[in-house]
Structure formats: C-alpha cells, structure tokens
Amino acid sequence: MAELLKGKPVGDLLDETTKIKVTMLKAKGITPTLAILRVGERQDDLSYERGATKRCEKNGVAVVNKILPDTCSQEELMTAIKELNEDDNVHGILMFRPLPKTLDEKAACNAILPSKDVDGITQGSMAYIYSGQGDGYAPCTSQAVMEILKFYGIDPKGKKATVVGRSLVIGKPVSMLLMNANATVTICHSRTENMEEVTQNADIVVAALGKAEMLGREYFKEGQTVIDVGINYSEEKQKLVGDVKLDEAEGVVSGITPVPGGVGSVTTAVLVSHVVEAAQKSAL
C-alpha cells in the first residue's frame, strides 16, 4: 500500500519556520499583517477566511478584514485595493474570487501590488512565476505541492513530472515550479490523447483537473508519487474526494496525498509564509 502523504505535518513544519520569522520581525517592531478583502458573503469565502484567520493567529500574524457588500461599485472596490496597497502596515492582500459578476475582476486583480500579491493572482505574479523576474508570489496551492514533495524527501530534479490540468490557478504555476526544480515536466489537458500512457510515464503525477475521481488505477504505475490537488464534493459518496480514485491508486503507487487532509491542509500555511516573506522584504 502507498504511503499516505498527509498535509498536516507539512503545514506544521512550515508554521514552525514562520513563527521564528515572526518573532524576529516583531523584535524589529514589525507585525506581519494579512489583509483579507471579501466582497459579499459567499460560503466558500467565509470558510476559507476562517481557516486563514486561524492559521494567521496561530503564527502571530495579524489579519485586517476589509468587507464590501456584493452590491459595491467597481470604484469602491478599487479604492479599497488602493488603500491596502498604500498601507505600509499591510504586507499581503488576499482577495476572494470569483467576484460578483457586476465587477471587473481582472482590473481588480491587477490593481493589487505584486509585492503584496500573496496568492499570485496579478499579471505581475504571473510574469514572475513564468520568468523568475520581478515581484510576486506563486499561487499558494501550487507552492503547497512543492512543499509536500520537499517534506517527504522527493526531489523533482531529473525526474519526470506529469501535471494533469493547465489552469492559471494550479496547472500552469505548478508546472513552472516543477521545471524550476529541474523536473522534466509534461502538461496534460482535455485534448491530451492516451493520457494513461502519459501519466504512467512519470515519476511524479500532479492531478489538478478539478473533476471528482477522474483518474483510476489505469493511470498509475508502481513507484510513483501522486499529488492530488482536486477537492470535489461527491454527491454519490456524500463527502469530499480528490481527482484521483484514492482506493484504486493507493494499491499501485508508492505515495499519494489524501483528500481531504493533503494539499488543502498545506495551502493556508503557505499563505501565511508568503505574508511573512512580504513583511521581511518590506523591512529591507
């Protein structure tokens, strides 16, 4: 049976590093601060906000909440972003998406300073992830994948990594991060033919399709590491499931992240580490 690559110890270790940095920053009079910008009252947003706030508190990182009604105007939203950009006491900005359809989401994203863009949603962060130049951060989930590999001693260097999915939130950035870590990366998507062959050919498979239990036994082979980024609600099973059929894959591969309890539980720890990194940079 595959080793279950649980996220909790990965997040806990990230928190240990974060706490040390926070102590050092506070000794300099700096309290790392995350601004959470929420428009409306979506359940998903509220749930993530609770998790992120709890993780910040645990690590001594302050949270500033900026809440706008879902009837707010573009101008009100842009003003809120501008104020957070200009506030030297705010080091990171997390803006929940999707925004209400009455608002211009792209304009709002790109108004955030890349140096405060701790979840990697601005054009500046995208250029940074792609080129390695400029300011910005990788989306937290994509970096959570890398933290899990690192924690469990799986060095991507020289290995073949197949990423299933090419979204801007996870597929593309995690491909770039794996390539930066010297993996030979293949990116699969809906138009890929014989995908089983492509995933079987890899040492590391990152599943990021966002489709419940799409990848069964036939996609995997012995010795592989599988990182399942999907978090989907299965009506049939009445519970959260990943993009991978865990019960089938774990009989074949060497290691796999569970859902829930895998990548998702590392994401907020990465978010908080980004806020602290931004605070460190602002102190330079």
Contacting residues toward a second copy, per CB under 8 A: 106, 110, 123-124, 126-127, 129-131, 133-134, 157-158, 160, 166, 168, 172, 179, 182, 184-189, 191-193, 198, 201
Q: Least Å distance between CB 173 and a second copy? A: 9
Give least dist CB 95 to a second copy, A. 16
Q: Is 231 in contact with 261 (CB distance < 8 Å)?
A: no
Question: Is 74 in a helix, a strand, or coil?
Answer: helix
Report whether 231 belongs to an annotated binding site.
yes
Least distance from C-beta 88 to a second copy, angstroms? 24
Residue with smaller CB distance to a second copy, 91 or 159: 159
User: Rounded to an integer, what distance in angstroms lies between the CA atom of residue 111 and that of residue 79?
Assistant: 10
Determine the straight-line distance between the first and last CA of the chain, rounded to whole angstroms: 48
What is the torsion angle, in degrees rounded to the nearest 10, for the CA atoms of residue 127, residue 157, residue 254 and residue 270? -40
**Residue 243 CB, nearest distance to a second copy (Å)?**
17
Q: Which is nearer to a second copy, 47 or 190 (CB)?
A: 190
Smallest separation (angstroms) from a second copy to the CB of 124: 7
Give counts: helices (H), strands (E), the chain: 10, 11
| Residue with smaller CB distance to a second copy, 85 or 123 | 123
Whether residue 97 is annotated as binding a ligand: the answer is no
Query: Are residues 206 and 164 in contact, defined by beta-carbon separation less than 8 angstroms?
Result: yes
Give the number of other Cβ atoms within 10 Å of residue 44's Cβ: 10
Q: Which is nearer to a second copy, 71 or 131 (CB)?
A: 131
Closest to a second copy by CB, 68 vs 164, is 164
Q: In 3-state terms, what secondary structure has residue 98?
A: coil
Query: 32, 61 in Cβ contact below 8 A?
Result: yes
165 annotated as ligand-binding: yes
- Which parts are annotated binding residues for NADP(+)? 165-167, 231
Binding residues: 165-167, 231
